[in-house]
Structure 1
């Protein structure tokens, strides 16, 4: 499966093939006027995060205490819509998808801050029990597909 490769996770998995880079942003409802200009100022607000997700880990490492943990991204998004949290960290693509699922007009969302340090590459991750030669063969196959442009064509079709 795909997982964000972070320093905290580096020794927990065997890694192959960076599929894509992701960048997270804090979003709020446009109807809620929140005074956020820095990461530090965002600590005054409640933030909906997914349990054990890279965004939860990042925000905790930065001293955030007002985190509301959910099991699913849509749960967090609905909490934002109901006013149970002030902010949610999402990629631009995730924001669009959650607006469709909720349903909610994305024009009512506003990106307030980019979490540059939380941005990471998404990789194929294997358990440490996976034989190294399996991971190596996967990496070699991925490198061939990438060189042939197959990975790029697939990513262009993915919403």
Structure 2
């Protein structure tokens, strides 16, 4: 019995020390931001929600931290995370170019990127990336999809959001639009557009990888450590 008491006391002291250390970490300095990317993150009735939002809230719950998750256009969210300390950003692609720009916490959602065209544009045929040079390709500003195509020598036309991109496809102002399959299906349904109006013509396998939550480079090391430990608990 005495040995059991000693062991229980040691464990209690250890756990107490762990939770005390967490309590000393001032998480109120951390702003959590995302971008409009339904069904992963979007605003409805003034509330930020979506598949990725739910995943991040699961992580934040492990920290006993329940902030308002701000939602911005992607370019603003990305620029904010690059420049503001103690900023958590999701959902962001982890690329070699971005590797040293952030503290990477962990994967949040899957990502399946394809290039879409209007169903009536049978003249658009894509068998390789080099074929894209013949077409007008839209892409979100500062988004990984456009950045990837640019590194492959493909010029892109900046669009503010993917709803705009869909409208531009429908009116033939652009020929192709790269987007995630689930996101495209969701947007077509929400806007009352037949699901077969836009069809995938080519996969972008190099960037079809899970998206992450990351912290800005100037984030307090204690906060980074707390987030990483919380991620391990939330997603063992």
Q: TM-score range by the shorter chain?
A: 0.7 to 0.9
What residue in structure 2 maps to residue 57 of structure 1?
A: 147
Work out whether residues 49 and 88 of structure 1, in 8 Å CA contact, stay in contact via their aligned partners in 2: yes
Work out whether residues 125 and 201 of structure 2, in 8 Å CA contact, stay in contact via their aligned partners in 1: no
What 5-or-longer segments of structure 2 have no aligned partner? 1-88
Partners of 2:181 and 2:213 in 1: CA distance:
21
SS at match of 1:144: helix
TM-score, normalisation: structure 2: 0.59
Q: CA deviation at 1:135?
A: 1.5
Q: CA deviation at 1:102?
A: 3.1
TM-score, normalisation: structure 1: 0.86
Partners of 1:132 and 1:81 in 2: CA distance:
47
What residue in structure 1 maps to residue 193 of structure 2?
A: 104
How many residues were matched structurally? 146
Q: CA deviation at 1:20?
A: 2.3
What residue in structure 1 maps to residue 61 of structure 2?
A: none
Determine whether 1:77 maps to 2:163: no
Q: CA deviation at 1:39?
A: 1.4
Higher helix share: 2
What residue in structure 1 maps to residue 203 of structure 2?
A: 114
Determine whether 1:124 maps to 2:213: yes
What 5-or-longer segments of structure 1 have no aligned partner? 148-159
| Structure 1, 43-52 or 14-23: larger mean CA deviation | 14-23
Q: CA deviation at 1:114?
A: 0.5
Partners of 1:97 and 1:53 in 2: CA distance:
19
Q: CA deviation at 1:145?
A: 1.4
Higher strand share: 1
SS at match of 2:111: strand
